[in-house]
Amino acid sequence: MWRDLTLGMVLLLAASAAPVGAGEAFVTDQPGEQVVIVDTASMEKLATIAVAGEPAGIAVSADGARAYVTSPEGKMLTVIDAEHRKILRQIKLEGGPLGVAVHPSGHPVYVADWYSKRLLALDPEDKMPARTAMVGTSPSGVAVTPDGAFVLTADRDDNAVSVVDAATLDRVAVIPVGIRPFGITIDADGRRAYTANVGSNTVTIIDLTARQVIGTVKVGLRPYAVALAHGKVFVTNQYGSSITVFDTATLKVLKTIEVGEYPEGISPSRDGNHVYVASWFANALSMIDTETLKVVKEVNVGDGPRAFGQFIR
């Protein structure tokens, strides 16, 4: 499965960048070794960027200027100029880089090393050496609080979440959650975090001020990732080929939405009116209306879309 890698080349399917204000989804196709860019309104493919090393994780910066892609097999972080659809650099890493998130200021970029107990803080310009925070076993998802003060990792094999001080990179708290947490998401207020627990088919809700669990919701089979929009939580259920939706206030399950086979990555639009779901076995990106809770559009995005992280620009 491991292979020699070459620098990804860019293949443009559109003559120019999308207009200012248009939403775009940057979807990693892991076995397809590419990032597919989709217009979030029309759900038409705009461009494809070849990225070696079986890309999986994705994080788009808050200003939309950069997309950061992890390749666990290729052991690297690829930095993409999101507007001009070109690879700027590829930063070689050790271990198994998977989860990725960007500080609200645009730097550093945080990458979880799946094969080790560490979180890397990387200079996106690759001019400074990486710094390291020690976390739990097999860190997967990564999330940064809106104020940039803390970074959270979902430590899958420790059944816990690590809280890391962003300034010092000290591990300041460990919070037990469900079995095998994978995806982790923080709300816009920085008050709560949500983990998708693959092993217990649950989502754990964490009060970040108290640093303790305040709720658990039973969802579908093999929950993978979480998105938040308009007071609702959307959870991808890999083995259920579905999305569980529950209310953030009452924690009551509102609906189960059928999507493509083996859904993984999920992200909301910036206005919260839609969430977008990448289904690995279906090779599809689905668009869900967050009010009607129905799939309204779908597009084929190539071989094995994973889109693990914040992939909406």
In tens, the pLDDT along 139-190 reads 999 999 999 999 999 999 999 999 999 999 999 999 999 999 999 999 999 9
Looking at the chain, the whole-number percentage of residues with pLDDT higher than 70 is 93
Looking at the chain, the whole-number percentage of residues with pLDDT higher than 90 is 92
Sign of CA dihedral 24, 51, 77, 83: negative
The model's pLDDT over 35-59, given as tens digits with 9 standing for 90+, comes to: 999 999 999 999 999 999 999 999 9
Ranges 20-34, 97-111, 174-188, 299-313: which has the least confidence: 20-34
Measured distance CA(285)–CA(227) in Å, rounded: 15
Instruction: State yes or no: pLDDT of 14 exceeds 90.
Output: no
Q: What is the pLDDT of residue 3?
A: 32
| Beta strands in 40-168, from DSSP E residues, in sequence order | 45-50, 57-60, 66-71, 76-81, 86-92, 97-102, 109-113, 118-122, 131-134, 139-144, 150-155, 160-165
Q: What is the pLDDT of residue 108?
A: 98
pTM: 0.92
CA distances from 182 to 153, 158, 307 (A): 9, 11, 13
**CB neighbours of residue 106 within 10 Å:** 13
Q: What angle do CA 254, 57, 275 make, to 5 degrees?
A: 30
Q: What is the pLDDT of residue 22?
A: 65
